[in-house]
Structure 1
Amino acid sequence: MLSPRLTALLAILIGLYVASRYDLHKTPGVAEALGVPAAALWAIYAPLSHALAGPGQAPVVIVDQAQEVFTARAPFTRHIVAVGDLHGDLGNAQTVLQFSGVVDAFGNWTGDADFFVQTGDIVDRGDDTIKLFDWMEQLRVQAAATGGVVLSHLGNHEVMNAIGDWRYVYPSEIDTFGSVAARQKMLSTGRIGRAWAQNYTATSRLPLHPHLGPPNTPFPPEDHPLHFEKDADAAADESRYYDARAPLSHAALSFVHGGLSPTYSNLAPFPTKINALSAALLRRLQHRAQPPPHPPHPYPGLPHGTTRDEAELYDANGPFWYRGWATDGADKACADVESVLARTGTRRMIMGHTPDFTGIVSRCNGKIIIIDTGISHAYGGALSALSIHYTFTPIGDDAAGEPRWIEREVVSALYVDRQEIIVEEEREVVGDFRFA
C-alpha cells in the first residue's frame, strides 16, 4: 500500500504529465479549469512540493515547471448588457431584462451578464418611479454578490426632477409618493436621492479587458503624462492619444445618456471630469431648499453658486442633452466621432435620449450606438437591449516569444423575437496583459 507522501507525489507527477501531454499551458489553465485563481493554487502547490521532499531536500518536482502549468494563459470573456430609457414602466423593463438574460422570471439577477448598464431616464412619463429605482438597487446588491456590476446613469429627466422641472411628471405618479413634499424629499435626501448621489454617474468608461483596470479608470491614464501634452496642432492631432506599446488602450466603451459632444470642453480626463461636475451639481440641487415644482410655479433654474462648468454640463452641448450623434449627417458624425473616441480612450459610444421607436440605431460601423427605443408604454416603441460579447483568446507565441491573442467583439441588438448583429470584429494582439 502506498504511503500518503508517495500518493501525493504520484498525483502531482500525473497532473504535470497530463498538462504537458495535452498542451494545457496553451489552453485554459489547470487553475481556471478548477475554478480556482492560479495564484491561490500555486500558493498551495509550491510549499507542498517542498514539504513532500522532507527537511533539507530539493523539491520533489521541478517547481518552475509546475508554476508554468498553474499560471497558463486562458481565454477571457466579458458580457455586457445595456438598456436605454425606461420612463416609469416597470413591466416593460422587467420583460427586457428577462429576455436579455440579466434577470430571471422573478426579476432576480441571473449572473449571465458581467455588467448591466442603464443609461438614464428611469423617471417621468409613468407611475413606477419608486419601484424601478428600488429594483435597480436590489439588482446592484445581487450582482455584487456574484461578481457582477450594475452601472447606472443620470439622464436629463433625473436632473430635471432634481432641479424642480416636473413638466413630465404624471399626477398619478406623485400619488405613489403620497404628496409633492414627500416626492421632493425622496428625490433629494430620501432613498432615491441618496441612490443617485452614491450609485449614479453622468457617464462611464467600461473597459472590455481588465488590463485597463476597473470601470471608470480615467483616460488618459495618470502614468502616461505625454498624453496630456499639447502643441499648436493638438486640436487636430488625434494620434497623440494612441500608444503603439498599449494595443488595448482604447478597448473600452463609453456610456452616457445624451452624448459626448466633440466641442464639449470637459471630456478629459474621461470620465473623471464629467462625473465630478455632475456630482457637484447634483449635490447643490439636492441640498438647497427645494423650490415649488414647475409647473405650476415658475421654472426654478440652477441653484445660486452653480459654476460655469456645471452649467455647461446641463446645456444643449452637455452630456445630458446632446443629440448631435443622432441628428448630424453621416459624413459629419463619422468624422467627428474619431476625435471623441481618441480623447476618451474608447472604441464605441453608447447612449440613449434620442428615441427611434423601431429599434437600436448603429452609425459609423458601430462607433455610435443609440439605444433609446421608447421602451415605456408611454411611447409604445420597441422593447430592446444591447448585448456585447467580448473574448480574448490565446493562440501561442510569436517568433520573439511574445504571447499572441485573438480579440473578438460581437455587438448585438436584442428584441423580444430576434437578435440582430450590429458589429462583429476580430483582430490579433501581441503582448502580456494583466487579467486582474
Structure 2
Amino acid sequence: MPRLNTFIALALVCLQVTHWDQAGTAHALPVSAQVSRRIVAVGDLHSDYPQTLAVLRLANITDENANWRAGSDTLIQTGDNVDRGPGTIAIYQLFQKLRTQAKAAGGEVINLYGNHEVMNIGGDLRYVTKEDIASFGGSEKRKQAWDIRTGWLGQFVFNNFNISHIQHGHTLFSHADMHPDWASKGIDAMNTLAHDALWNKQYKAPIFTTDGPVWNRALAKQEAGVDATCETIETIKEILGVKRLVSGHTVSKGGKILSLCNGSYLGIDVGITNYYGGNLAALEIIENTDGTQTVHALYPKDKTFTYAVRESVESL
C-alpha cells in the first residue's frame, strides 16, 4: 500500500486528516492526531463534470460512486460551476445530492455565487457552449431551468447560494476578491443585497460590478503593488475579524494555489476545468483543537488522482 513519504508524514503530526490509498480507500490517522473538523474548498469548475468528480475524489470528499464520504467535513465551492463546458446539469445535480448526503452525515456543503451564475440567471449567455444548450433540450428549456422563480436550477441556486461566507469566524470565502468597502457592509448585508438584486432583475447592481465580490481581481493580480495589496488584505481581515481570505475567479499560474502575504490571501482557481488546463487542486483547512488552523494545498500524487500530496500554503 502506498504510504506518505517521511517528510509529509512528519508534517501531518497533530493534524486530523485522512490519507487514502490509490484505490481510494480512506485510512484515519491515529486517534492522538485527530481533531474536530476539516474544511475543503474548491474553485471554478466551469461545466467540466469529469474534473469535478476528480477534484472531489482527490480531496476525499466523495467515493468512486460520487457519494459523500467525508463525514462531518465541510465542502465549500466558490462559484462558477457553469459556462465553458457541457456538464452544467450534472454538476448542479451533484451538488444537490451532496448537500443532502453531507447534512445526513453531519457535514455541510456551502455553495457561493460566481459571476457566471449571476450571468446565467440574468440571461448573459456569451460563454455557454452548444453542448450545454443541447443538454437542456434547447435554448428555451435552458432559459426556463435558470428562472429563479420557477426553474429547477434557478431556484436551487437562488435558495442555496450566497455571495460570501465566513467559516467558523476564521476564513472568508468569496468567488472573487473582496474590497474593503464591501467588507464594511458585512456578510449578511452583502448576501441580502445580492439576493434582492437578483430577485428584482437588477443584474448590474453595484454588488455585481467590477469591484464587487463576484468580479474583483485586484488582490489576486496585486494591482496596487505587493505592499499595498497586503495592506488592503490586512484591512479586510481586521474589518471582518478573520485570519485569511479565500477566493476563486482569477486563474493562478502553474496550476498551483496562489498564496499572498504569508497566506493571508489564497487564490484557489487553479484551472480545474480542461478549458484552463485541467489542473487539480483543493484547499484543505484543518481546525485544530486549540483554535488554530493548519492549511494545505492538495495536489494529485499521480494520474490516478486518488492519492493526495499536501503542501503548506501559509505561515501565520
Normalised-by-shorter TM-score class: 0.7 to 0.9
1:362 and 1:370 in contact (8 A); partners too: yes
- Which position in structure 2 is the counterpart of 1:152? 111
User: Where does 1:317-336 land on structure 2 (aligned, <5 Å)?
Assistant: 317-328=211-222, 329-336=225-232
Whole-angstrom distance in 2 between the partners of 1:319 and 1:339:
16
Task: Compute the TM-score of the two structures, normalised by the length of structure 2.
Answer: 0.82
SS in 2 for 1:419: strand
Whole-angstrom distance in 1 between the partners of 2:65 and 2:55:
13
- Which position in structure 1 is the counterpart of 2:178? 260
- Which position in structure 2 is the counterpart of 1:105? 64
1:119 and 1:257 in contact (8 A); partners too: yes
Identity %: 35
The answer as to 2:239 corresponding to 1:348 is no
- Which position in structure 2 is the counterpart of 1:422? 313
Whole-angstrom distance in 2 between the partners of 1:121 and 1:321:
11
The alpha-carbon deviation at position 114 of structure 1 amounts to 1.7
The alpha-carbon deviation at position 423 of structure 1 amounts to 2.5
Paired letter, 1:169: V
The alpha-carbon deviation at position 176 of structure 1 amounts to 0.4
Whole-angstrom distance in 2 between the partners of 1:202 and 1:275:
5
User: Where does 1:24-103 land on structure 2 (aligned, <5 Å)?
Assistant: 77-103=36-62
1:69-125 Cα offsets, whole Å, 9 max, x none, are xxxxxx952200000000001111111101111111111101255210000000000
The answer as to 2:163 corresponding to 1:272 is no
The alpha-carbon deviation at position 380 of structure 1 amounts to 1.1
Compare relative contact order (CA 8 Å, sep 6+) and give the higher one, 1 or 2. Answer: 2
Whole-angstrom distance in 2 between the partners of 1:391 and 1:102:
19
Superposed CA RMSD in Å reads 1.6
Whole-angstrom distance in 2 between the partners of 1:118 and 1:373:
13
The alpha-carbon deviation at position 422 of structure 1 amounts to 1.1
1:90 and 1:128 in contact (8 A); partners too: yes
SS in 2 for 1:340: helix
2:44 and 2:269 in contact (8 A); partners too: yes
Whole-angstrom distance in 1 between the partners of 2:163 and 2:293:
25
Going from structure 1 to structure 2, the CA distance change for 1:113 and 1:92 (only over 3 Å counts) comes to farther
Whole-angstrom distance in 1 between the partners of 2:264 and 2:134:
42
- Which position in structure 2 is the counterpart of 1:131? 90
Whole-angstrom distance in 1 between the partners of 2:127 and 2:299:
27
1:116 and 1:151 in contact (8 A); partners too: yes
1:39-77 Cα offsets, whole Å, 9 max, x none, are xxxxxxxxxxxxxxxxxxxxxxxxxxxxxxxxxxxx952
Whole-angstrom distance in 1 between the partners of 2:172 and 2:219:
14
Going from structure 1 to structure 2, the CA distance change for 1:84 and 1:113 (only over 3 Å counts) comes to farther
Whole-angstrom distance in 2 between the partners of 1:322 and 1:261:
8
2:171 and 2:242 in contact (8 A); partners too: yes
Aligned length: 271
1:101 and 1:112 in contact (8 A); partners too: no
Whole-angstrom distance in 1 between the partners of 2:278 and 2:53:
15
Task: Compute the TM-score of the two structures, normalised by the length of structure 1.
Answer: 0.60
1:127-173 Cα offsets, whole Å, 9 max, x none, are 01001000001000000001111000010011111111111001111
Going from structure 1 to structure 2, the CA distance change for 1:114 and 1:269 (only over 3 Å counts) comes to farther
1:101 and 1:113 in contact (8 A); partners too: no
SS in 2 for 1:133: helix
Structure 1 residue ranges (4+ consecutive) displaced by more than 2 angstroms after TM superposition: 266-270
SS in 2 for 1:91: helix
1:116 and 1:150 in contact (8 A); partners too: yes
SS in 2 for 1:152: strand
Whole-angstrom distance in 2 between the partners of 1:175 and 1:411:
40
2:259 and 2:265 in contact (8 A); partners too: yes
The alpha-carbon deviation at position 408 of structure 1 amounts to 3.2
Paired letter, 1:280: D
1:357 and 1:381 in contact (8 A); partners too: no
1:395-419 Cα offsets, whole Å, 9 max, x none, are xxxxxxxxxxx33321000111122
The alpha-carbon deviation at position 424 of structure 1 amounts to 5.4
The alpha-carbon deviation at position 357 of structure 1 amounts to 4.4
1:80 and 1:113 in contact (8 A); partners too: no
Paired letter, 1:337: I
